[in-house]
Structure 1
Amino acid sequence: MSDPLRSPALKPRKKPAQLRSAETVACIIEAAARILEERGFAGYTTNAVAEKAGVGVGSLYQYFPGKDALTAALIERETAVLLDDVAEAERAASGAQGLKQLIRAAVAHQMRRPALARLLDFEEQRLPLELEVGRVSFRLEQAIVRLLARMAQESPADPQQAAADMLAICKGMVDAAGQRGETDAASLEGRVARAIFGYLEPLRPGRDAALEA
C-alpha cells in the first residue's frame, strides 16, 4: 500500500477497482521492470513501458501521473516481496535459522533480478521516499531483534544496537555486491552469514570480559 504522505507526484492516480484493472496495473509495473532491465534509464519512458505492457499510454496515465510514480510503485512491489520473505524468516524453527533465512532473503532481493535491483537502489535514493525507506529499515531491524531474542544465551546484551549494526553490515555487503555486478548468490550469502555471525560472536554475554583480559 502506498504511503498516504507520499508526494503527489509519486502517488498512483487511482487504485484499480476491478480484477481486470488490477491485472492491467500489474502488467504495467512488470513492463516498467523489463524496460529498466533491457534498456536502462536511457530507454525508460512511459511510451516504452506502455508499448511493452500492450496498453495505450493514456491507459498508463489513468493510473500513474508520471514515470516517477510508476518507479515508486515498482519499488513498492519489490519491497513487498522482501518483507514477505522476512515474515517467513521470523517463523523459522530457531533464531539462528531465522537469521540465515533473513540473509538469504536480502541476497535474493538483490540477486533475483540484479540489473533491476541496482537501478531501483539508485532510484530509491533519488526519489523522496525517506519515510517509506525508514519504515522498511525499522521493520527489518525489529525482525532481527525478535530473532536475536530467540537465541537465548547467544543473544547480545543490547539487541537493538546489534540489530542496527547487523542490518548495516548486510545492506552494505549486498549493495556493494550489486554495484559490482556479482551474480553468485550462494557465495554472497555465505560471506554475509560469516560476517553477521562473526559480528555476533564477541557480543555474546560474558564475552566482553574475555576480550578485555
Structure 2
Amino acid sequence: MKNRRPQLAQTARKRPSQRRSVATVDAIIESAARILEARGHAGYNTNDIAQLAGVSIGTLYQYFPNKDAITNALLLRELRALSDALLTDAAAGSEEEGLERMIETAVRHQLGRSGLNRLLEVEEVRLQPDLALTEARAELEALVKSFFERSRMLSDSCDFVAEDVFAIVRGMVDSAGFRGESDEEALILRVKAAAFGYLQFRRS
C-alpha cells in the first residue's frame, strides 16, 4: 500500500509572523477546539468557527483553506503542547521521577479534554497525513527514546524498550479516553504500575 502524501487542501495557507496574526490564528484554532468539543463533527464548520473566533470568514480563509486544515493545526497544537510538557518532565528530578511525571502529564493531557481528544484521534485517522504533524509525532517518539537511552533504570541496552513503554502508556491512556474515564489519579496509578512493572521485568 502506497504512503499517502500530504494534501495542500489540509495544510494552513500561511504561517503568521506578526503578533496580531498569531493571535488571530490562535483564536481560530481554539474556537475550532471548543466547537468540536461541544458539538462534535455535526456542528463543526468554518462559519461557526469564524464567528466564535470573532473574525470574518474571509480572514479565516486567509490562513486555512478549509476545516480539515484547521483540524490539522489543532492536532499539531495539542501534540506540541504535550511534547513541550514531556520534555520538561524528562529533565525533572531522578529518572524515576521523570518517568512518573511524564506519565502524569500524558494522563492529564488526555483526560483534561477527553471529549476533544477522542474526536481528534478519529480525525487524525480520517485526514490525509500532514507533514508538520508527522514530524512532530516523530519528535515526540524520539524524545521518549532519548530519555531511555540516557536512563540508568535498565542494566542493559535494548532498542525497543522506549517503544514498548511508549506503547504501554499511549495504549492505556488512549483506551481510557475512549472509554470516557475521568478519574485521572486512578489511571495514573494503573499506567505507572504497568510501565514500571515492565521495566522491572527488563531488569530481572
Question: C-alpha distance in 1, partners of 2:151/2:50?
Answer: 49
Deviation, structure 1 residue 161: 0.6
Matches within 5 A, 1:94-105: 94-105=94-105
Structure 1 residue 51: Cα displacement: 1.2
Q: Deviations over 1:87-144 (max 9, x none)?
A: 1012112111111111112112211211111111111111122755654454344333
* Aligned pairs (5 A) from 1:50-199: 50-129=50-129, 135-152=135-152, 154-155=153-154, 157-199=156-198
The SS at the match of 1:23 is helix
Please give the secondary structure, in 1, of the residue aligned with 2:92: coil
Moved more, 91-100 or 132-141: 132-141
Q: 1:149 to 1:44 in 2, by over 3 A?
A: same
Instruction: Indicate how the Cα distance of structure 1 residues 137 and 47 shifts in structure 2: closer, same or farther if over 3 A, else same.
Output: closer
Aligned-partner Cα distance in 2 for 1:198–1:42: 42
- Corresponding residue of 1:201: 200
Distance in 2, Cα, partners of 1:133 & 1:11: 10
Q: Which residue identity does 1:81 align to in structure 2?
A: A
Q: Which amino acid in the other structure matches residue 129 of structure 2?
A: L
Q: Which has the larger radius of gyration?
A: 1
Query: Matched residues in 1 for 2:135 and 2:14: separation?
Result: 23
CA RMSD of aligned residues (A): 1.9
Higher relative contact order (CA 8 A, sep 6+): 2
Matched residue SS, 2:17: coil
Aligned length: 200
Cα gap change, 1:196 to 1:74, in 2 (>3 Å): same
Aligned to 1:211: none
Residue 151 of structure 1 deviates from its aligned partner by: 4.2
Give secondary structure in 2 for the equivalent of 1:199: helix
Residue number in structure 2 paired with 1:210: none
Tell me how far 1:13 sits from its aligned partner: 1.2
Shift in alpha-carbon separation, 1:118–1:147, aligned structure 2, 3 A? same
Q: Distance in 2 between matches of 1:140 and 1:112?
A: 20
Runs of 4+ in 1 over 6 A off after TM superposition: none
For residue 48 of structure 1, report the CA deviation from its aligned partner.
1.1
Structure 1 26/141 Cα, relative in aligned 2: closer, same or farther at 3 Å?
closer
**Structure 1 residue ranges without an equivalent (≥5):** 208-213
CA deviations on 1:134-180 (whole Å, 9 max, x unpaired) are 5445434433333334542x315343211111111111111110100
2:11/2:69 contact within 8 Å kept: yes
- Contact kept, 8 Å, 1:12 with 1:69, in 2: the verdict is yes
For structure 2, the 5+ residue unaligned runs are none
Q: Deviations over 1:49-98 (max 9, x none)?
A: 11111111111111100010000001111111101111101211211111
The CA distance in 2 between the partners of 1:187 and 1:37, in whole Å, is: 24
Letter in 2 for 1:189: I
